[in-house]
A and B are shown apart, each in its own frame.
Chain A
Amino acid sequence: MQPKLLTGNAAAAWGARLARVDYVPAFPITPQTEIIETLGRWIEGGQMPGRMVTLESEHSMITAAGAAAATGVRVFTATSSQGLLYGMEMIYTVAGWRAPFVLINVSRGLASPITLEPDHNDVLAARDSGFLQIHCATCQEVLDSVIMAYRIAEDPRVRLPIIVNLDGFYLSFTREPVEIPEPKSVADFLPAYDPESTRFRASSPNSQAVAVLGGAPYSYFRYESHLASLNALDVHAEVAGAFAQQFGRHYEAVEAYRCEDAEIVFLMIGSFATKAKAAVDRLRDAGEPVGLVRPRLLRPLPAKELAQILAGKQAVAVIDQNISVGMGGMLHAELASALYGKANAPPILTSFIGGLGGRDISPEEFYEIAAITRKAAQSGVIPPARLLYTQEEYREVQKLQAIAHAERHEMGAE
């Protein structure tokens, strides 16, 4: 089939359409809005069955999504940033209902200060909720992941909702060639949803999401979600195999690029990982044995795969497009916990914070990260975490500050 040029948002909408979703509770927020506009147009135009309802908030939207899934239909919804946080109570709540659905998050930095451009603090705030998480690097991967996500989430061995993440701007509004699978092939790959006993029907009473008292039932239900999430590692592998067979594109839980003989490895998630991939190629041209690891599945965390791929490497440079304020990069901490005590674990992990609020990362910066990390591997001394930030950027901000302060002065505030 001839690929088409699609934005990441359009690819997400195509994924929902091909997955034959029944229900789309929606609420607009930049940079996600194009997804629901596209679905709304298709539904109104009769190109796609299904029903879309615009709620009054993401909190209500996620409630409606969970409630419809708990009634036994296939649900798709999407949000970004502040929207995801506004709905966060329900993100945790509906995950415990064990009613699967797909939520697209189009990553965007969080307030304050409020901004439009991407980083991963929004989606990582949902890290511990019980939702599975797939992070995409290309528009094709967005479309494919939505279809795979339904099969993984609806699998009776999993039964958890799932977030498919794409970066705002860098994927959401960016067109790339995307192959749109045939509806028939998708139908073969993804059967109709069977909710089993998780549904509301007049013939059988069902009190769902009831309260518990005491630590024993609470621990049981919470830990069952954890076990089900861990189960998604094997299910993902199975589903990825079936997907490759059907569509010819293969997705691993962890993408390893030129890692076999690499001494230094970059670790990144999301669309910026393709920049790292380009940097790997240039570094290889320069004779540097560098590779890239990109966890696609972040929940469950493929800790075993990461440890295997990274075994014997000299050092890993973790580039976090997020910041846990008061701690640092979250993926750096996650990787450290996945590798600690493992045989042949790389002795050096370096930490770089970059790409906050859409701040770009240049090829030179990747090369420099590799150089610093190689130096750390040689000396055995791990440098402190570094924010990717230049003197020029700082000067720009100082100019802005001057204006901000001058205005205050002129207004008589000082």
Chain B
Amino acid sequence: MAKTLIRRMKDLPSTHLFGSGTPMCAGCGGLESLHQIYEILGPRTVFVNAAGCMTLLAIYPFTPFRGSWLYTAMASAPAGAQGIRDALDILLAQQRIGADEDLNVVVLTGDGSANGMGLSATSAAMERGLDFLYICYDNEGYGNTGQQFSAATPHGARTATSTGPHGFGGNKKDLFSIWAAHKPAYVATAIGAEPVDLARKVETAKQLKGPRLIITLAPCPPGWDFDPRDAADIGKLAVKTGIWPLKEYIDGKVVHSKIPHPRLPVEEYLKTQGRFNHLFQPQRDEALLAEIQDSVDRYWDGIAV
């Protein structure tokens, strides 16, 4: 098992490597986690990006990265990572570059690419045992196009394409389990609102070889409809209500890194966001609230504490 150095808040880095000045929204939960991740990964990285909000991190001639970046397309960022990793390995093997020139290859996509169009490429990269880290910022919808529902949208959420009285009728895809079923080196869920947990997971992933994947829940002020200042508080509530379990798949086992106790009612989380307004106004949708609470309860009932 990997050893991590970050155990408490004081261990977190306080100087920032990730460049400011990006066009991400004020209060972006995805950026909140990415800048924390970047502190630990550092500039010896090449980020391979798929179409999504974060495609706009680098707009010519401005980039927030101190290392490297390649934009590919929505469906094939893991294949881009494959090409770069293989090319670097070839260059290393032929001694055309020294180990000091090597880079960590990191895929960065949103939930739209990760759960949908890019899932085939991700599955194949895992099956090939590609040595890479995949960061998915999950804002639970196609955020860059105005928050239409994606395969990661939670049940009941209102999106630009689920505007009915009960919001999104489908259920959030269990990407963690889909990834874990491939038996990669590492899978974790995390969130920028729990920086120590996130940092520890990135540190762990960084020390492992093979496919490593982290999903960070990314509270999205315009997409979820809340005031940007609440982004971190909403993130914390996602964890405290048990809606966003923080966990790791490592050495073939799933372990929860933080078990909310006591678990707050889900509505403490839901009521903070305009996308769930219809659950409370004009009158409470008790059936849907109970359904959401029940699915969270059933999840945690299945977890041996």
> Do chains A and B directly touch (beta carbons under 8 Å) in the complex?
yes
A residues sitting closer than 8 Å to B (CB atoms) are 22-23, 25, 50-51, 53, 55-57, 59-61, 63-73, 75, 89-90, 93, 200-203, 205-213, 217
B101 touches A72 (CB 8 A): no
B84 touches A200 (CB 8 A): yes
The CA-CA distance from A258 to B169 in the complex, in Å, is: 71
B76 touches A63 (CB 8 A): yes
The CA-CA distance from A67 to B128 in the complex, in Å, is: 17
Closest 6 CB pairs of A and B: A67-B83, A60-B79, A71-B87, A64-B83, A56-B124, A68-B83
B79 touches A205 (CB 8 A): no
In the complex, besides A25-B82, A202-B44, A207-B70, 5 extra interface pairs with C-beta distance below 8 angstroms are: A60-B75, A68-B87, A70-B83, A202-B102, A211-B55
Among B75-92, those with CB < 8 Å from A are 75-76, 78-84, 86-91
B residues sitting closer than 8 Å to A (CB atoms) are 43-44, 46, 48, 55-56, 58-60, 63, 65-73, 75-76, 78-84, 86-91, 94, 97, 100-103, 120-121, 123-124, 128
Report which of B58, B66, B83, B100 forms a contact with A71, defined as CB distance below 8 A.
B83
- Chain B neighbourhood of A63, CB < 8 A: 72-73, 76, 79-80, 83, 121
The CA-CA distance from A66 to B88 in the complex, in Å, is: 14
Residue of A nearest to B42 (CB): A202
A67 touches B59 (CB 8 A): no
The CA-CA distance from A371 to B272 in the complex, in Å, is: 81
A64 touches B88 (CB 8 A): no
The CA-CA distance from A63 to B72 in the complex, in Å, is: 7
Taking the closest CB of chain B, its distance from the CB of A23, in whole angstroms, is 6
Q: Is chain A's binding surface mostly helix, strand, loop or mixed?
A: mixed
Given A73-B90, A205-B65, A212-B59: A56 touches B101 (CB 8 Å cut-off): no
B103 touches A200 (CB 8 A): yes
Give the interface centre of A25, A61, A68, A71 by most chain B CB atoms within 10 Å: A71
The CA-CA distance from A63 to B107 in the complex, in Å, is: 13
Taking the closest CB of chain B, its distance from the CB of A207, in whole angstroms, is 4
A70 touches B70 (CB 8 A): yes
B79 touches A89 (CB 8 A): no
A59 touches B65 (CB 8 A): no
The CA-CA distance from A200 to B83 in the complex, in Å, is: 11
B124 touches A23 (CB 8 A): no
B82 touches A72 (CB 8 A): no
- Residue contacts A-B, CB under 8 angstroms, 8 given: A23-B87, A25-B86, A56-B124, A61-B79, A203-B100, A211-B60, A213-B59, A217-B60
